[in-house]
A and B are shown apart, each in its own frame.
Chain A
Amino acid sequence: MQDFEQQLRDALARKEQPPYFEAKVLAATRRQPKPVFLRWAFATASALLIAAGIWTDHRAGIQAKEQLELALRVTVTELGKVQRTVRASTEEE
Chain B
Amino acid sequence: MIKLALITCLSLAPLGAQELKIPASLDRLAAKATEVVDVTMDANLLQLAGRFLSDKNPDDAQVKKLIEGLKGIYVRSFEFAKQGEYQDSDVEPVRAQLHTPAWSRIVGVRSQKSNENSEVYVKTGNGKIGGLAILVTEPKQLTIVSIEGSIDPDQLGQLGGHFGIPKIDTRKETGHGKDE
Contacts and interface: CB of A to CB of B under 8 A. Distances in A.
Direct contact of A and B (CB under 8 A): yes
Contact of A74 (B114, B143, B153, B178): B143
Interface string A68-93: 11111111111111111111111011
Interface stretch (B14-22, B24-32, B83-91, B105-113): B105-113
A86 B145 contact: no
A28 B9 CA distance: 46
Interface residues of B, number: 50
A39 interface: no
Range, interface on chain A: 20 to 34
A55 B82 CA distance: 44
At the interface, is chain A mostly helix, strand, loop or mixed?
A: helix
Interface in B128-166: 134, 136, 143, 145, 147, 153, 156-157, 159-160, 163-166
Interface of B: 1-2, 37, 39, 41, 45-46, 48-49, 51-53, 63, 66-67, 73, 75, 77, 107, 109-114, 116, 118, 120, 134, 136, 143, 145, 147, 153, 156-157, 159-160, 163-169, 171, 173, 178-180
Interface of A: 19, 56, 60-62, 64-65, 67-90, 92-93
